[in-house]
């Protein structure tokens, strides 16, 4: 069956529907949802029962890049700076030195045991060197794993920030495969340019995006998420245009925005959460359609050997050496080594050799696909078990929150106070987002004349308003009054 303009929406929506229902029941059997999405795509493909013929790496790469934009941006928005600040350098070490050591270790192994050249082997190692943000975010969060001593923020920070390093290594070694006369040192300027420009652009666009979001006055709340999507794509494409790493830029931009006061922030976060899931489903379905299972069978032997070496040797080498400067218990290092999930990002990066037309591109793609599947299947299904075995899981981590728990989590405030705003108050004629309100307090309602206003970040405080403020603890009210530049009564 060939996809046409007439049937692509029907086929696509049916595949999405099947994926959603499959994802709803998959964890009852201990199977990660992402693997189900991939399997559905394969079943719908040329070698499956659907018979859909799809063999276009260029379109797959485009869909992959767009999807990774949403996935990384959503992960960045959900990243709490207070949570990652204590483990910032550990995360940076894992996402840079750890990725490099994993790529080199696996590359040497592949060179010794396959017919690939040293540069082709390093290319393969680079493609699968990073943990996958989509896999780590979705599996950790869906399993509700409560991990000890900042372990979870470390894993999420690493997975969200190490794709840029893997991308740079992939492009660098691909250029060496194509141009054999180039030396290994030629990749150093490329690496520095990508990372430095990417980091600076991410912070710069983050500040610019905050200014635009809070200052622009849009007539409809629904336009603010559209504005953020636009700013996200501008950040990625502009950074890439000047030679920086777009993936690093959008992740840093999102982390910055996620920890700032933004107008309609809750609406933006909820929208991105849904879009991230949509992009994960679309991406894995597309990758499943692109793969021909008949081509996977011949490389299963060497693929399994490489996958086991990556899980048991290369990943632990990268983790243990990169974390040597830090004080960390051995069992935590082992668990970080185990959560080296490969997923969609390596498969997307594997389309670059296909488009470049190198000799072993198909072999590399199929091996990368097999490694990603085995990683999600073996490691993704055993995260809870290994956490308990290594004693890094908090007691009761599998308890699912009740509807009451979820409601309290939405607004976990215990103190309420009515604050009258006099005409000469600092807050008069200012937007709520401009007040610098403490994060553990909210303005739940504004009493204005004889009516009540439900506020958002763009709401302007008026003279003689009465703010109904909710806070987590009584002492937080001091910070509220400080933000309003008023004296606590």
| Digit-coded pLDDT (tens) for 118-171 | 999 999 999 999 887 666 766 666 655 667 777 888 888 888 788 888 888 999
Query: Nearest Cα to 28, choosing from 152, 141, 143, 147?
Result: 143
Least confident of 82-96, 372-386, 398-412: 398-412
Asked whether 150 and 86 are in contact (CB, 8 A), the reply is yes
Residue 52 dihedral angles phi and psi, to the nearest 5°: -80, 120
Which residue bears the tokens 């595949």? 15
Residues 95 and 190 in one domain: yes
Query: Nearest Cα to 21, choosing from 43, 37, 9, 38?
Result: 37
Predicted confidence band at 22 (pLDDT cuts at 50, 70, 90)? low
Residues 310 and 425 in one domain: no
pLDDT of residue 405: 44
Which residue bears the tokens 């007691």? 395
Predicted confidence band at 402 (pLDDT cuts at 50, 70, 90)? very low
Full DSSP string of 88-118: HHHHHHIIIIIHHHHHHHHHHHHHHHSS--H
Residue 244 dihedral angles phi and psi, to the nearest 5°: -90, 175
pLDDT at 241 over 90: yes
pLDDT of residue 2: 58
Residues 384 and 418 in one domain: no
C-alpha angle 429-431-436 in degrees, rounded to nearest 5: 120
Give every CB contact of residue 164 below 8 A, 6+ residues apart in sequence.
Answer: 95, 194, 195, 198, 245, 247, 248, 251
pLDDT at 31 over 60: no
Ranked by mean pLDDT, the top range of 35-44, 144-153, 307-316, 415-424 is 307-316
Measured from the Cβ of residue 134, the count of other Cβ atoms closer than 10 Å reads 27
Asked whether 382 and 315 are in contact (CB, 8 A), the reply is no
pLDDT of residue 48: 72
pLDDT of residue 137: 65
Of 333, 361, 389, the last residue of a domain is 389
Residues 180 and 93 in one domain: yes
Residues 358 and 428 in one domain: no
Residues 285 and 433 in one domain: no
For the chain, the domain total comes to 2
**Local structure of 316: helix, strand or coil:** helix
Full DSSP string of 116-161: --HHHHHHHHHHTSSPPHHHHHHHHHHTT--BSTTHHHHHHHHHHH
Please state whether beta strands 415-420 and 466-471 pair in parallel, antiparallel, or not at all (unpaired).
Answer: antiparallel
Predicted confidence band at 254 (pLDDT cuts at 50, 70, 90)? very high
Measured from the Cβ of residue 85, the count of other Cβ atoms closer than 10 Å reads 11
Question: Hey, CA dihedral for 192, 241, 209, 441, is it positive or negative?
Answer: negative
pLDDT at 7 over 90: no
Classify residue 9 by burial, with Cβ atoms within 10 Å: 0-12, 13-18, 19+: exposed
The Cα–Cα gap between 423 and 67 comes to 49
Give every CB contact of residue 30 below 8 A, 6+ residues apart in sequence.
Answer: 381
Domain with 295, as residue range(s), is 8-389
pLDDT of residue 265: 85
Asked whether 429 and 464 are in contact (CB, 8 A), the reply is no
Least confident of 26-40, 58-72, 188-202, 383-397: 26-40
CATH number, domain containing residue 194: 1.20.1530.20
CATH number, domain containing residue 441: 3.30.70.1450
The Cα–Cα gap between 20 and 59 comes to 23
Residues 381 and 419 in one domain: no
Residues 417 and 360 in one domain: no
Distances (CA, A) of 462 to 265, 397, 429, 459: 22, 46, 6, 9
**Residue bearing the bigger pLDDT, 183 or 115:** 115
200 within a domain of the structure (yes/no): yes
pLDDT of residue 66: 92
Ranked by mean pLDDT, the top range of 41-50, 224-233, 396-405, 475-484 is 224-233
pLDDT of residue 234: 96
Predicted confidence band at 409 (pLDDT cuts at 50, 70, 90)? very low
Predicted confidence band at 398 (pLDDT cuts at 50, 70, 90)? very low
Residues 60-73 have a mean pLDDT of 90
pLDDT of residue 407: 37
pLDDT at 343 over 50: yes
Query: Nearest Cα to 59, choosing from 351, 347, 372?
Result: 351
pLDDT at 110 over 90: yes
pLDDT of residue 410: 47
Residues 352 and 422 in one domain: no
pLDDT at 411 over 70: no
Please state whether beta strands 451-453 and 415-420 pair in parallel, antiparallel, or not at all (unpaired).
Answer: unpaired
Of 327, 355, 389, the last residue of a domain is 389
Residues 39-48 have a mean pLDDT of 77
Share of the chain above pLDDT 70, in %: 88
**Residue bearing the bigger pLDDT, 402 or 193:** 193
208 within a domain of the structure (yes/no): yes
pLDDT at 319 over 90: yes
């Amino acid at each position: 069956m060939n996809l046409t303009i007439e049937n692509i929406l029907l086929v696509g929506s049916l595949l999405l529907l099947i994926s959603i229902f499959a994802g709803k029941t998959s964890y009852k059997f201990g199977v990660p949802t992402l693997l189900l999405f991939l399997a559905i795509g394969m079943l719908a493909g040329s070698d499956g029962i659907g018979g859909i013929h799809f063999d276009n790496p260029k379109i797959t790469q485009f869909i992959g890049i767009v999807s990774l934009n949403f996935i990384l941006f959503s992960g960045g928005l959900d990243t709490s700076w207070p949570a990652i600040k204590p483990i910032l350098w550990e995360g940076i070490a894992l996402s840079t030195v750890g990725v490099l050591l994993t790529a080199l270790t696996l590359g040497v192994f592949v060179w010794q045991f396959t017919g690939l050249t040293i540069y082709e082997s390093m290319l393969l190692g680079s493609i699968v060197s990073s943990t996958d943000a989509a896999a780590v975010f979705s599996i950790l969060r869906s399993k509700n794993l409560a991990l000890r001593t900042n372990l979870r923020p470390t894993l999420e920070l690493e997975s969200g920030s190490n794709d840029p390093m893997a991308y740079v290594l992939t492009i660098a070694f691909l250029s060496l495969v194509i141009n054999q006369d180039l030396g290994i040192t030629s990749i150093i300027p490329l690496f520095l340019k990508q990372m430095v420009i990417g980091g600076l652009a991410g912070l710069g666009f983050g500040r610019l995006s905050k200014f635009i979001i809070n200052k622009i006055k849009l007539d409809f709340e629904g336009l603010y998420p559209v504005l953020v999507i636009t700013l996200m794509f501008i950040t990625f494409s502009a950074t890439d245009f000047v030679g920086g790493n777009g993936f690093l830029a959008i992740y840093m931009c999102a982390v910055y925005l996620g920890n700032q006061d933004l107008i309609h922030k809750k609406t933006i976060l909820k929208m991105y959460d849904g879009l991230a899931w949509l992009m994960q489903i679309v991406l894995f379905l597309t990758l499943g359609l692109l793969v021909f299972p008949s081509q996977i069978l011949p490389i299963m032997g060497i693929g399994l050997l490489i996958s086991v070496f990556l899980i048991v040797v290369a990943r632990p080498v990268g983790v243990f050496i990169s974390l040597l400067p830090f004080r960390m218990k051995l069992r935590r290092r082992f668990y970080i080594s185990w959560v080296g999930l490969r997923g969609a990002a390596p498969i997307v990066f594997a389309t670059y050799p296909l488009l470049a037309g190198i000799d072993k591109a198909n072999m590399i793609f199929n091996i990368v696909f097999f490694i990603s599947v085995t990683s999600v299947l073996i490691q993704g299904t055993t995260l809870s078990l290994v956490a308990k075995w290594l004693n890094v899981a908090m007691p009761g981590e599998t308890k699912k929150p009740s509807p009451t728990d979820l409601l309290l989590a939405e607004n976990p405030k215990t103190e309420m106070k009515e604050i009258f705003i006099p005409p000469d108050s600092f807050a008069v004629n200012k937007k709520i987002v401009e007040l610098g309100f403490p994060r553990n307090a909210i303005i739940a309602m504004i009493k204005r004349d004889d009516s009540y206003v439900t506020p958002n970040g763009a709401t302007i405080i008026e003279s003689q308003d009465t703010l109904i403020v909710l806070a987590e603890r009584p002492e937080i009210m001091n910070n509220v009054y400080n933000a309003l530049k008023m004296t606590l009564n």
